[in-house]
Structure formats: C-alpha cells, structure tokens
Amino acid sequence: MMFSEFLIPASPVLSLVICATLLILLEAILPDGKAKSTKLVVAILGPFLSLLATLFLLSSQTESLVALSNSPIPTWIAEFKKSYLCDDLTVNLFTAMSVFVLISIVFLEAFLPKNSEKPEIFSLVLFAGAGMMLLVSAGSLLMVFMALELMSLPTYILVGMQKKDQRSCEAGLRYFLYGSFATVLLVLGIALLYGELGTLYVEPLKALLNSPNRIGLSNGRGGSVGVLAAFALMLAGVGFKIGLVPYHLWLPDAYQGAPTSVTGFMGSAIKLAGFGLAIRIFAELLQPITSIWSSMMGFLAALTILVGNFAALRQKNLKRLFAYSSIAHAGYLFLGVVSLGGGETNSSALQYYLWIYGLLFLGIFGILALLETHRKSLELDSLNGLGFEKPLLGFCFLLFTLSAAGIPPTAGFFAKYLILLQAFSQDQIEWVIVAVLGSVIGIAYYLKVISHLYMKAPASPEATFPVASKMVQVTIVLCALAMVYFAVSPTMAQ
C-alpha cells in the first residue's frame, strides 16, 4: 500500500529531494572539490530520475494512483492523498519542471566559476525544484505555503550567491524582501479563507465556493467580505511570483543581478511553478470569484503586457531587456489563466505556452551566459557580429528571439495565438486587442536585438566569441530543435 499510494505518486519529488540530500552528504564527506564528477552525476541524476518517474505517471492512470479506496489505510497516507493532487495537470507540469531543472544544472556547471561551491548550488536548485513540484500539486493550502517556502528560500540564496558582486547582493536582498512580503500576503489570504470556510483542503473548498448560499454569491454577483479579501491577497501573492504588474518591481533587478545561468532557471522553472499555482488557485479553487472579477484580472494582464513591452523598448542591457520581456509574457500567460475562469476550457494552451517560453528563455540565457564569460558585458553591443562569427549559435538565438516576439510561423506565434483565441472565446475581446497591440510594440525591441546580431560588426577585432563546451552547445541546439517541434505540432495544445 505504501508503495502504490505514496512512493509512486511522490517519486518525482522524492528523486530531487534524495539527490539534493546526497549532494550535501557527499560535500561533507568529500570536501575541497573532491569527487567533482560524482557530485555532478548525482546532480544530473536528480531531475533525470524525476523525469523518468513523471513519464511513468503520465503513462498510467494517475488519478487512480491516489484515489481513495474502501480499504483501511494509515492516517498519514490518507492525509497525504488529500494534500497531494496527482492529476493530468500535475504530471504535465512535472515533466516540464524536470526538463528545465536538468538544463539549468547543465548551464550552472558550465558557467559558474570553477572555485564556486557547485555541489551546494546544485542541491539548492534541486530543493527548489522539489518545492516547485509540491507547489503545483498541492491539495491543501497549508501545502501551498510550505512548498512556496521550499521553492523560494533556495532561490533567494541563488540570486545573491555572488557575494563579492554588489549588484548580486542587492538583487538577492531585494528579492528576499519583496518575496517575504508577498508570502505574508498569501498566508493572510489563506488564513482569511480558512476562517470563512473552515478548511484548508482544496476539494472541500471548491465545493463550498461553488455553493452560492455559503459565500453569498447570489445570482453570480457579490460575495462574502472574507472570501473576497482572501482573493485579493492571494492575487497579490501569486502576482509577485509570476511578475504581474504592479507586483513586478523586483524582477528586472533580480534578473540582472543574479548569475546569468540562475536567471535562466528563474525565468523558466520558477515562472512555470508560479503559473501552475495561478491555475490551481484562480482557474480551479477560486473559479467562481475569478469569473466575477475576470474583467479586473484581464485589465491587470493587459497592463502587464503594455508595461513590459514599453519598458523593454528603453533597455540597452540584454538581461534587463529580456526581464521586461518576461513581464510582458507573464501578461499573456495570465490572460490565459483568466480565460480559464469560464470552466469549460482546459489549460493545454497555457501549458503549451509555458513549455515554449521556458525553453526559449533557457536557450537565450544559455547563450548570454556564454557571451558574458568572454566579452564581460551584456549590453546590446556585445551581440554585434555573433550571427556570422558563430552561425549555429547565432541562428539559435535568432530562432529564440523570433519565437519570443511571436513572429509566424514560430512556436511563439502559435502559443500567443492559442492563448488569445481562448481569451476571445471567453469574451475577453478588449484585452485581446490590447494584447495584439502589445505584440506589435514588442517587435521593435526584438528586431533591435536581431539587428545587432547580424547587421553590426564587433566593436573591436579582438572581440572574438569563445568556443562553447560540447554539452552547452548540444543543450542550446536541443532547445532550438524543441522550438521547431512545437511550431510544427501546435495541435498538442488543443
């Protein structure tokens, strides 16, 4: 019973936790940089085993694995089954998270300084990955809080781990302060919801929230003060994690100050976890209220798109430019979350977008990390001549940029199209129009990036581009090939 009811459903998370713990033990037993290859193998083994376990869950009847049975079961297993949702959304997000964590470890190994504490950094990434998985599979709001902390605390350390870099330390401190405040708001929202409805479990909460007499949703209008206040507080808490305006102020500084390979991890895996939580809360748990306040939430999504794109137009630093680009993408993704409030659509289009965005973001920041190691700068001019000097990497960067801009027939175009089509079907017409205008604005700064890539010579003849390691090149090319695959298979989001 323990094997089928606990170990199998939780195996993706346990794989990361066990390997992270093993890394800590190895570092304690074999310090001073000994057994580096063994520690790297353990770090890579974590997400790889997690991916295999997730694929097994994906191929089986996941809901039956954690379904309540009539036979007596231990109390702790019953509690686990109520607190851990192993449905289709869970295993689909687990697959993406495992891939993103694996790619992030490859880039961290390649680009972190040789004298850095890599095993500790790898263990932090693995623990953060375990927190992300628990976050998107949480069946209890208490589990949401614990998973959020397990994900956030290692990330705060990763952002500020360059202790001699003032910008990195400042970014880590700012991220910590904003993140702590957002967590407080989220916990306060959870407390209000518990005080109003008397439970922390998702399934009973959904049943109560769908009972108009219980929360005062008379004829689809209004609502109890406690539930509506909880909704507003949870919107602020989740909005911070996904970079939604006006909760986005931390994001450009954190992305710029963090090591470039860490920024790739934050913009892909952490963003994916944030939107997994948003789907759970706004499209499932608080769906009756989301439907009522869809216009307000659509406005926030449209505002996020416009702020992100307009701010990116002024940026000359590539990390800040793509940070504001990620804010704009958060607006499109949140519009997709809002359009799920109708209850008749599924999140496949949103998951499709998250896959594409995560891979292109990792690919872009993998190339930027390689660029930074040699040219010591990530201003726009540092891209000059890359398209001709390194044709393969230049083409990959071009493909990622075109996908981020949503230029047809790239995967990014289909991702935006499917999200906007879904929003249109839910009568979010005015916000769809704003989103299309935002995409047109965004083309300007993406074309500026491409012009530096192919239309400008390097600032100096000595500014040659370094030779990337085979593993880094293969990983970047695989991300680019994934863009091609998603472009020719948009039907997977239907």
Helix, strand and coil content of the chain, in percent to the nearest 5, comes to 80, 0, 20
Per-residue confidence (pLDDT) for residue 123, from 0 to 100: 92
Per-residue confidence (pLDDT) for residue 224, from 0 to 100: 76
* Interatomic CA distance for residues 212 and 362, integer angstroms: 44
Going from N- to C-terminal start, the domains of the chain cover 1-159, 249-494
* Interatomic CA distance for residues 250 and 8, integer angstroms: 38
pLDDT means over runs of 10, the chain (494 residues): 70 91 86 74 91 84 48 70 83 92 90 73 92 90 91 89 80 87 91 87 82 51 72 90 87 87 89 91 82 84 93 90 92 90 67 92 90 78 80 90 90 90 86 91 90 76 62 90 87 53
- Does an H or E element contain 482, and which? helix 470-488
Of 491, 492, 332, whose CA–CA distance to 406 is shortest?
332
Structure tokens at 27: 């570092």
pTM greater than 0.75 (yes/no): yes
Confirm if 247 and 240 have CB atoms less than 8 A apart: yes
Residue type, 202: V
Confirm if 202 and 292 have CB atoms less than 8 A apart: no
* Interatomic CA distance for residues 115 and 112, integer angstroms: 8
DSSP state of 492: G
Confirm if 238 and 304 have CB atoms less than 8 A apart: no
Confirm if 444 and 313 have CB atoms less than 8 A apart: yes
* Interatomic CA distance for residues 313 and 324, integer angstroms: 9
* Interatomic CA distance for residues 163 and 182, integer angstroms: 25
Per-residue confidence (pLDDT) for residue 9, from 0 to 100: 81
Per-residue confidence (pLDDT) for residue 461, from 0 to 100: 54
Per-residue confidence (pLDDT) for residue 221, from 0 to 100: 37
Confirm if 214 and 170 have CB atoms less than 8 A apart: no
* Interatomic CA distance for residues 196 and 52, integer angstroms: 41
